[in-house]
């Protein structure tokens, strides 16, 4: 792989789907900016697709000093083979020191394959990145054992240093429309025969729900709800607050609610303004996904439930009484506010 000192710059994989940049990319640009400053290097975005030139401006406004674009009709839809070849060839050519990916279903498919091809290390699902002040190496911290343990991982002798980063954890870049950047068209050596999979359809679930990562208010339920019916009142509270409904793994595993609603280590990481934990005991794997919320309100009939250890406000009581009263109270509050 040559001399590791030949590797420069911080790259962010600018994941796009159907021409829309995935929101985690802006978080990576926010974090990448800090890392580029500390390593005295440039922050670059790497964009793959077909007819995606127009997205470069948005990446530059969010802090990318260079945008590499790999474009081809063969790259219109994400395929592991096509995107791996485009990115791995460019890594070998341009030699970035650090490459960051969002730990999305696409990022977690692409990054390990690229890492294996360019023969470097990859740290999965990082929740914290730092630059060691002496050696300027990337310190990548991630949860393991269901969030029971945190590990800081380094990649001392291989380049690039690569991480997938959990969505919803890092702060977004500050957008500046005056930013200027350079656009570099990447030469591709890609043939249709390189791509062994065919994406025949992309189906979106019809759910007019605020996504968990974007929601300001999340009302989450666990096994303490007693039955799938309990989620009805949580949906009602979510409607009042324009929020969305989340769930613990226990409630998802019980089949009470879709896995898309799951918050936690194996679900979505969230940091809403207010997180309501209703009948959730507070297993570490759940806390790993919600403990960064601005305010946590826990409601549980068991005063010893571990969720109260992380809650800002705790209410010991029966959910079937507390939640309806919260619904009424927030309705009244909204009505008062509308009058004022």
Q: What number of other Cβ atoms are within 10 A of residue 64's Cβ?
A: 32
- Please spell the DSSP secondary structure of 218-253, one letter per residue: EEEE-GGG-STTHHHHHHHHHHHHT-EEEE-HHHHH
- Quote the least distance from Cβ 84 to another protein, whole Å: 8
d(CA 11, CA 45): 5
Quote the CA–CA distance of 297 and 279 in Å, as a whole number.
11
Minimum distance of another protein from residue 121's CB (angstroms): 3
Residue placing its CB nearer to another protein in the complex, 105 or 180: 105
Shortest distance, CB of residue 317 to another protein, whole angstroms? 6
Q: Which is nearer to another protein, 63 or 272 (CB)?
A: 272
The four Cα atoms 299, 305, 307, 313 give a dihedral, to 10 degrees, of 50
Candidates 290, 306, 300; CA nearest to 248 is: 290
- Minimum Å gap between C-beta 41 and another protein is 20
- Shortest reach from residue 178's CB to another protein, in Å: 32
Nearer to another protein, 151 or 174 (CB): 151
The pair of three-digit structure tokens given for residue 20, joined into one six-digit string:
């829309």
Q: Which is nearer to another protein, 6 or 312 (CB)?
A: 312
The DSSP secondary-structure symbol of 167 reads: T
Residue 198's nearest CA partner among 77, 48, 71, 319 is 77
When the beta carbons of 225 and 252 are compared against another protein, the nearer one is 252
Alpha carbon distance 226, 205 (integer Å): 27
The tokens describing 274, both together, are 């207010």
Q: How far is the CB of 258 from another protein (least distance, A)?
A: 10
Q: Which is nearer to another protein, 116 or 187 (CB)?
A: 116
CA distances from 24 to 5, 38, 47, 204, 327 (A): 29, 21, 14, 19, 32
CB of 113 to another protein, least distance (A): 5
Which residue, 42 or 108, is less far from another protein as judged by CB?
Answer: 108
- The answer to whether the CB of 299 falls within 8 A of the CB of 276 is yes
């Amino acid at each position: 792989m040559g001399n590791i000192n030949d590797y420069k710059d911080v790259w962010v994989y600018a994941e796009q789907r159907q021409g829309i940049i995935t929101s985690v990319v802006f978080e990576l640009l926010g974090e990448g900016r800090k890392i580029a400053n500390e390593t005295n290097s440039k922050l670059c975005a790497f964009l793959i697709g077909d007819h995606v030139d127009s997205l470069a401006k948005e990446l530059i406004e969010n802090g990318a000093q260079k945008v590499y674009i790999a474009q081809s009709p063969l790259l219109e839809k994400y395929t592991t083979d096509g995107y791996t070849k485009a990115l791995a060839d460019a890594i070998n050519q341009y030699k970035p020191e650090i490459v960051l990916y969002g730990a999305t279903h696409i990022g977690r498919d692409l990054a390990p394959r690229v890492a294996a091809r360019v023969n470097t290390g990859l740290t999965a699902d990082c929740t914290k990145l730092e630059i060691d002040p002496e050696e300027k190496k990337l310190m990548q911290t991630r949860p393991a054992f269901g969030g029971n343990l945190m590990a800081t991982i380094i990649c001392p002798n291989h380049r690039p240093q690569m991480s997938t980063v959990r969505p919803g954890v890092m702060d977004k870049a500050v957008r500046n429309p005056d930013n200027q950047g350079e656009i570099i068209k990447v030469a591709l050596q890609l043939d249709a025969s390189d791509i062994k999979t065919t994406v025949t359809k992309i189906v979106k679930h019809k759910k007019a729900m605020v996504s968990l990562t974007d929601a300001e208010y999340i009302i989450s339920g666990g096994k303490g709800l007693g039955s799938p019916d309990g989620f009805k009142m949580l949906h009602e509270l979510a409607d009042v607050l324009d929020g969305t409904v989340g769930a613990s793994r226990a409630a998802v595993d019980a089949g009470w609610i879709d896995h898309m609603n799951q918050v936690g280590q194996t679900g979505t990481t969230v940091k809403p303004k207010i997180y309501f934990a209703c009948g959730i005991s507070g297993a570490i794997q759940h806390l790993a996904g919600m403990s960064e919320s601005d305010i946590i309100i826990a409601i549980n009939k068991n005063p010893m439930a571990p969720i109260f250890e992380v809650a800002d406000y705790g209410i010991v009581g029966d959910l079937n009484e507390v939640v309806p009263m919260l619904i009424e109270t927030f309705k009244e509050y909204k009505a008062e506010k509308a009058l004022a």
